[in-house]
Amino acid sequence: MSVNTCLRRPLAAAVMALSVIGSSFAVGAAHAAPTIDPADLPVADVPMPAGEGEYSYIATHEVTKRAASMKLADGIASLPVPAQYRPANLALAAQFDIAVQSALRSPGGCVQVVVDPRARSGSLFNYGFFAVAGQYCP
């Protein structure tokens, strides 16, 4: 069984945890980014392979729709972070928003999160959000 297969359920828990945290800060929050013209969105495709030591989580289509309806990217953008981390936090929220919008343009599409636990440039983790085409979603 692959790491990808074993870790699908924890993604739902992680997304829900982020949504609870994010929703508590969403009132009066800064927005992640303006909505992107659909023509400029990347196309949902095959899941990204996880590298050595990385973890890959693939949300279901339903969890992806729920994240979009909850405006989870806005919640991420509004998390209280020190001023020096604000640009990185806003970029993370924008990346998530783009992945969700792209995924939902594919019938049955979903979002994949790839987590690299190796710290780089002062970060605890590096996250990547990717739009996955519906035929690859659980």
Identify the DSSP state of 113.
Answer: E
What pLDDT score was predicted for residue 35? 64
Integer CA distances (angstroms), 32 to 22, 25, 71, 89, in order? 12, 13, 9, 9
Spatial separation of the C-alpha atoms in residues 21 and 96, rounded to whole Å: 16
Within 13 Å of residue 55, how many CA atoms lie on the same side as its CB? 14
Mean pLDDT by 10 residues, the chain (138 residues): 40 40 38 65 93 93 96 93 91 94 96 86 79 96
Integer CA distances (angstroms), 106 to 1, 23, 117, in order? 27, 26, 29
Q: What is the pTM of this model?
A: 0.72
Reduce the DSSP state of residue 57 to 3 states and report it.
Answer: strand
Q: How far apart are the first and last CA of the chain?
A: 15
What pLDDT score was predicted for residue 23? 37
Which pair of tokens denotes residue 95? 């990346």
